[in-house]
Amino acid sequence: MHPKMKELKERLTEVDDLNSATWLLSWDQQTYMPPGGAEARGRQMATLQHLAHEKFTDDRIGYLLDDLQREYADEPYASNEAALLRVTAREYAKATQVPPDFVVEASNHSSAIFSAWTTARPDNDFARLRPMLEKTLDLSKRYATYFPGHAEPIDPHIENSDYGMDAAIIGALFADLRAQLVPLVQAIAERPLADDSVLHQHYPEAAQIAFGEEVARTLGYDFKRGRQDKTYHPFATKFSINDVRITTRLDAEFLSAGLFGTIHETGHAMYEQGVDQALEATPLASGTSSGVHESQSRLWENLVGRSRNFWHHFYAPLQEQFPAQLGNVSMDTFYRAINKVEPSLIRVEADEVTYNLHVMLRFDLERALLNGQLAVADLPEAWNARMEADLGLVPPDDRDGVLQDVHWYAGFIGGAFQGYTLGNVMSAQFFAAAQQAHPTIRDQIRTGSFDTLRGWLTENIYTHGTKYSADEVIRNATGSPLSIAPYMAYLHGKYGELYGL
Amino acid sequence: MHPKMKELKERLTEVDDLNSATWLLSWDQQTYMPPGGAEARGRQMATLQHLAHEKFTDDRIGYLLDDLQREYADEPYASNEAALLRVTAREYAKATQVPPDFVVEASNHSSAIFSAWTTARPDNDFARLRPMLEKTLDLSKRYATYFPGHAEPIDPHIENSDYGMDAAIIGALFADLRAQLVPLVQAIAERPLADDSVLHQHYPEAAQIAFGEEVARTLGYDFKRGRQDKTYHPFATKFSINDVRITTRLDAEFLSAGLFGTIHETGHAMYEQGVDQALEATPLASGTSSGVHESQSRLWENLVGRSRNFWHHFYAPLQEQFPAQLGNVSMDTFYRAINKVEPSLIRVEADEVTYNLHVMLRFDLERALLNGQLAVADLPEAWNARMEADLGLVPPDDRDGVLQDVHWYAGFIGGAFQGYTLGNVMSAQFFAAAQQAHPTIRDQIRTGSFDTLRGWLTENIYTHGTKYSADEVIRNATGSPLSIAPYMAYLHGKYGELYGL
């Protein structure tokens, strides 16, 4: 190895070690930390983050990148070295283009508004947050100015989580999707509501955990390189390719929360566990974008986990785990219950069909705010109007409206939401391509075998880490650019049958 | 606050944050980390340790210390500022006197010999480790050369864990102690052996944990600022004054392991939880020496936890927790069982009376090795001869002899053991002083009340952190220098009665 490449990798490993340590501190904060630890923990995480930023933005890294990009100019695009230099140079440019003072100001504001939100939301008091949210908007616009050459101020924010995308691409895609989803939701709303009361029974926690872990293991999550713990907000987190953990939140009175939450996080975690070991401790060693990441959580949660084929295998074991609750419930009744569609106020509780309408609402409002077409003062009204237009519901208060998600109250406005719907769209495109490559996948799922599907996903997506952009991954894996067609075909097929459309 | 004092504290906080993060990584490694995480975790901990060392030995810290020691020259000795400068300057001098190359060489060797020991001990193969242990001895001697002016090469090693002590002081104390202990052990050995079979029954883990936590809580360990988890090797660890955790190892077939292990670690943890909050995130915010630390674990474990008064309160609840095992066992039988004295091969399993003979053996061998009076090649034989002289036992193999403790195979030779016995000696001196100050302590223990004792310990020991040296703490708290008299009086009183001597 070129000695400068060796030095670059050593420096990047140091940064990765600091980041991984920060993530462990955060995991512990959310799982086992006693309440007394909170104050010091916040400070410790800030210290490690600051050091990681300082180490990553060191001039020496810029010098090494410049020099090595010349040295490795003839390396093939797909080689680990070329990819490392390409992706690291991109991240380095981004990290060094923002003045350190701005980073501190934004981070301090973020802590302040988050803290205010934790009481303003229960108090249903948007007015109290308004001036702070205006500052968030101002900071979000100023952030965009450090990245000139973009068409819209939301674009640099999008690029941070979904590199290669911008508001024009996503806006067009979302407009198409919305035009097709709203009528579908309306058509379903005209049919009799599915009955999901079987899910709303008492399901003891220990049995839920046991079943969830059995499912995760069968799907292919490697517990020798991971584990599951309980948290208030479920998440997946990575400390190395060989230590990728998930957390779950159980609701003893509602089966879906823990069960599909576990499958969702298992999807995220299998992506991270599937990255090529050669990329360990480099910026290449994680999922490539929020959209592609979400495509994996949603593929496993919805396209696999809420399918008839999946329950063909797993329903009997579930009944065995919960004989009193499900012993006399037919699989068809259960299948209809877990796929109940009903317009609702809260994004994170929304079903598969209406979910994207919540996301697109947020994306469009972010874009309008950043473009100066919408004022923060008018945000609650705009939110409610759009809810009525798309879902036929008006939130009774801001608590379940504009205050419901933490995202705008813990970071920038812009870029935080689109990945959820991009992920849904991608999930169907990936799943269709996998089935085209291996037509036996459906039958295998019916028998509880997921190796072929996971193998295809690993080979086409997981192993590459961030080596390729989302767009490259999609084209390489499916032979086509991103398209909503497979997703709409999936929804129409599944829900057409379920609701007799 | 002087701006330079502010800067010094900020820099020390950064170091403390890195150290605390390292300790959390280590805690996780021993509690919840999946096996796959091991490789990256070792690297991550090394990175953080290296950064903490680099930050602490920064020239700027030396400059600030010099300057501030002049600025604060008139501050009273007992003030937080004077103590911070005094203790930090001492640590800084120590950390900067050792060349970085040596630190790396010693650390690499340490990893190598530790790894070799993990297989050589089960293989009973001292010969395989001998050349590496010779290198350890060489490194330990070289380390001492960086601290000229000491009488013996073991002294700088002792100073690292028991500041203020040296081989001459400890050697004299230990010689006295040994001269009194050996006859006591022999006298006890001539009496009928106590029967501890009641402890060797099946004690279900969950009930052991529940009882252990109840005891820890009653003694005064604050679970809002701590928690208990299971590990292979029990320990206490601190991430801040308000997050001090303990771990325990349970043996379902032997009650004492988990029960007294929990009380022992609770003692360490209450010391750390009791440090003055004003010292948080500075080098003053922990126990002052390995001896004083051990005095607290042993005071709570032995002088409190193995006393008749303690069980006067706790035996009924223990019987309630384990009715099948202890329902028909008298408290006297139980009390004799937990205080059984019997010479044995393994230090960590030794009873209160014979334990110190194991420690002094190691201390004397370390001292002889470092002084060139003993060769590594002759170490097993010297070990066995001393075992026979002091305990009347010869290890059947090196596995249960010279290979048993990890200390010499994971760091320097020198300074690792004396704290255990210093702690035992101090524990009795502190306990006697506390009782002299508050004669009601004994009666309170009989009723399960520990506030007066813990209050005295907090006021005289815990709150000061490392502000005072062990010697200062002992003189301030007890009015006398360290003495073996209270300890021998305690042993003679307790075991004289138990064994009818």
Q: Within an 8 Å CB–CB cutoff, is residue B58 touching chain A? A: no
Distance CA(A351)–CA(B441), nearest Å, equals 63
Q: Within an 8 Å CB–CB cutoff, is residue B240 touching chain A? A: yes
**Nearest chain B CA: its distance from A301 CA (Å):** 24
**Nearest chain A CA: its distance from B280 CA (Å):** 9
Q: Within an 8 Å CB–CB cutoff, is residue A226 touching chain B? A: yes
Chain pair A-B, CB pairs under 8 angstroms? 119
> Between helices B126-145 and B355-370, what is the axis angle to 10°?
70
Q: Within an 8 Å CB–CB cutoff, is residue A407 touching chain B? A: no
Contact A25 B24 (CB under 8 A): yes
Percentage of residues in chain A having pLDDT higher than 90: 98
The answer to whether residue B265 is catalytic is yes
Q: Within an 8 Å CB–CB cutoff, is residue B35 touching chain A? A: yes
Contact A281 B40 (CB under 8 A): yes
Q: For an interface test with A, which of B242, B273, B280 has the most A Cβ atoms less than 10 Å from its Cβ?
A: B242
**Facing A34 at nearest CB: one of B35, B223, B280:** B223
Contact A37 B222 (CB under 8 A): no
Q: Give this prediction's pTM.
A: 0.95
B244, β-bridge pairs: B238
Dihedral sign for Cα atoms in the order B119, B121, B124, B128: positive
> Between helices A470-478 and A451-460, what is the axis angle to 10°?
130
Give the single-character DSSP code of B306. T
Among chain B residues, the shortest Cα distance to A242 is held by B36
**Nearest chain A CA: its distance from B208 CA (Å):** 20
Contact B456, B463 (CB under 8 A): no
Which chain B residues touch A28 with a CB distance below 8 Å? Answer: 24, 28
- The whole-number average pLDDT for the span A138-145 is 98
Which chain B residues touch A44 with a CB distance below 8 Å? Answer: 17, 20-21, 239
Residues of A tagged active-site:
265
Q: What is the pLDDT of residues A204-248, one digit of tens each?
A: 999 999 999 999 999 999 999 999 999 999 999 999 999 999 999
Q: What is the pLDDT of residues A337-373, one digit of tens each?
A: 999 999 999 999 999 999 999 999 999 999 999 999 9
* A236-240 sheet: strands from edge to edge: A228-230, A243-248, A236-240
Contact B44 A239 (CB under 8 A): yes
**Facing B36 at nearest CB: one of A13, A44, A243:** A243
Contact A36 B226 (CB under 8 A): yes
Q: Within an 8 Å CB–CB cutoff, is residue A39 touching chain B? A: yes
Distance CA(B501)–CA(B488), nearest Å, equals 14
> Which tokens sit at A203?
């399901």
Q: Within an 8 Å CB–CB cutoff, is residue A224 touching chain B? A: yes
Q: Within an 8 Å CB–CB cutoff, is residue B47 touching chain A? A: yes
Distance CA(A261)–CA(A233), nearest Å, equals 10
> Which tokens sit at B486?
């209270």
Contact B478, B433 (CB under 8 A): yes
- Residue written as token pair 């929804």: A491
Q: Within an 8 Å CB–CB cutoff, is residue A34 touching chain B? A: yes
Contact A43 B17 (CB under 8 A): yes
- The whole-number average pLDDT for the span A8-28 is 98
Contact A39 B240 (CB under 8 A): yes
Contact B227 A32 (CB under 8 A): yes
Give the single-character DSSP code of B462. G
Residues of chain B with pLDDT below 70 are: none
Give the single-character DSSP code of A230. E
- Residue written as token pair 């329902």: B327
Q: What is the pLDDT of residues A413-464, one digit of tens each?
A: 999 999 999 999 999 999 999 999 999 999 999 999 999 999 999 999 999 9
Q: Is the pLDDT of residue A1 over 90?
A: no
Q: For an interface test with B, which of A17, A221, A275 has the most B Cβ atoms less than 10 Å from its Cβ?
A: A17
Please state whether B254 falls in left (phi above 0), alpha (psi between -120 and 50) or beta: beta
pLDDT at B1: 87
pLDDT band, residue A289 (cuts 50/70/90): very high
Q: Within an 8 Å CB–CB cutoff, is residue A35 touching chain B? A: yes
Give the single-character DSSP code of A194. P
Characterize A103-139 residue by residue with b for buried, 16 or more Cβ atoms within 10 angstroms of its Cβ, and e for exposed. beebeebbeebeebbeebbeeebbeebbebbebbbeb
pLDDT at A102: 95
Q: For an interface test with A, which of B243, B273, B275 has the most A Cβ atoms less than 10 Å from its Cβ?
A: B243
Catalytic pick among B91, B265, B294, B366: B265
Q: Within an 8 Å CB–CB cutoff, is residue B230 touching chain A? A: no
Distance CA(A383)–CA(A368), nearest Å, equals 12
Contact B267, B216 (CB under 8 A): no
CB atoms within 10 A of CB A52: 20
Q: Which residues neighbour B192 within 8 Å (Cβ) at sequence distance 6 or greater? A: none
Q: Within an 8 Å CB–CB cutoff, is residue A321 touching chain B? A: no
Among chain B residues, the shortest Cα distance to A273 is held by B36
Contact A243 B40 (CB under 8 A): yes
Q: Which amino acid is at B332?
A: D
Q: Within an 8 Å CB–CB cutoff, is residue B397 touching chain A? A: no
- Residue written as token pair 């797909």: A78
Which chain A residues touch B41 with a CB distance below 8 Å? Answer: 239-240, 243
pLDDT band, residue A398 (cuts 50/70/90): very high
**Nearest chain B CA: its distance from A474 CA (Å):** 30
pLDDT at B100: 87
Contact A21 B17 (CB under 8 A): no
- The whole-number average pLDDT for the span A123-141 is 98
Among chain B residues, the shortest Cα distance to A227 is held by B34
**Nearest chain B CA: its distance from A10 CA (Å):** 11
Contact A13 B222 (CB under 8 A): no
Contact B225 A24 (CB under 8 A): no
Which chain B residues touch A241 with a CB distance below 8 Å? Answer: 40
pLDDT at A100: 87
Which of A172-176, A328-332, B229-233 is least confident? Answer: B229-233
Contact A40 B229 (CB under 8 A): no
**Facing A35 at nearest CB: one of B24, B224, B281:** B224
H or E segment to which residue A274 belongs: none
